[in-house]
Amino acid sequence: MVGADLLMECLAVKQTHPAIKEEDVENIALSIISMNEDFVSRLSHVDKKQVRRFFQQLKEDLAVSTNEIIDHIYHLT
């Protein structure tokens, strides 16, 4: 769900600021898709001996990646 929300936010910023280059929006969209694929892939390889630690790290990494993309979106304007 995070990926879809980020894509929608990216498109909303583009709609409200028409001067933003399409290429910049596309690059951010591609990074969102890549991030989403990475996290889905990681969910397919859970170490059953360290489940708690795995999901704790996944949650932290998701927060960092999400914040980086949000920064990129808002620096478009």
Which pLDDT belongs to residue 6?
A: 95
Tens-level pLDDT at each residue, the chain (77 residues) = 688 999 999 999 999 999 999 999 999 999 999 999 999 999 988 888 999 999 999 999 999 999 999 999 999 88
Residue with the two structure tokens 């933003």: 20
- Judge whether 10 and 28 are in contact, CB under 8 Å: yes
User: For the chain, what are the domain ranges?
Assistant: 2-74
- Judge whether 44 and 37 are in contact, CB under 8 Å: no
Residue 2's contacts (CB-CB under 8 Å, 6 or more residues apart) are 36, 62, 66
> Residue 50: what are its φ and ψ, rounded to 5°?
-135, 50
